Amino acid sequence: MQVKIKDKFLSDVLSESEINTLALATLNELYEAGHTIVREGEPGDIFYMIDSGSVDVFIKAKGDAPVVTLTSGQFFGELALLSNDVRTASCIAKTDVECHILMRNDFNLLLGDLQSLMDGGDYRRREEEFVQPQEAAKITLQ
């Protein structure tokens, strides 16, 4: 699953090991058809990745019909990883839905602030700037 936040893919700013670490931090959640998973205007701190089922997305200003229906392999709430902003849409389970969720606090504890990671370029540049452990040992011994 390619997760894009604003104009960058997570795979462009995180290494494979960082992505694997995040995968271990996700929780599995089940929602029954009709359940409101996310409510427009409420604070958000959870990112949702749909494993199965479908989710209707509603925006009050656009009327009573869903603006889009998301299905397996898609995601919502990704901006919750960036900030404390309120939800810009409501997401309601159209069918029974299984999601993997990631809390912003878990992301921050594991990898730090996502906006800083995105502003700092991709993980390859961070790895190049990182002093290798063997080199660090040489520096301290000299």
Measured at the alpha carbon of residue 71, what is the angle toward residues 57 and 7, in degrees to the nearest 5?
Answer: 70
What residue ranges do the domains of the chain occupy? 4-141
SS3 46: strand
Q: If you average pLDDT over every residue of the chain, what do you get?
A: 78
Asked whether the predicted pLDDT for residue 130 surpasses 60, the reply is no
Domain 4-141 architecture: Sandwich (2.60)
Q: pLDDT by residue (tens digit) across 66-83?
A: 999 999 988 888 777 777
Torsions phi, psi of 116, nearest 5? Answer: -65, -40
Asked whether the predicted pLDDT for residue 110 surpasses 80, the reply is no
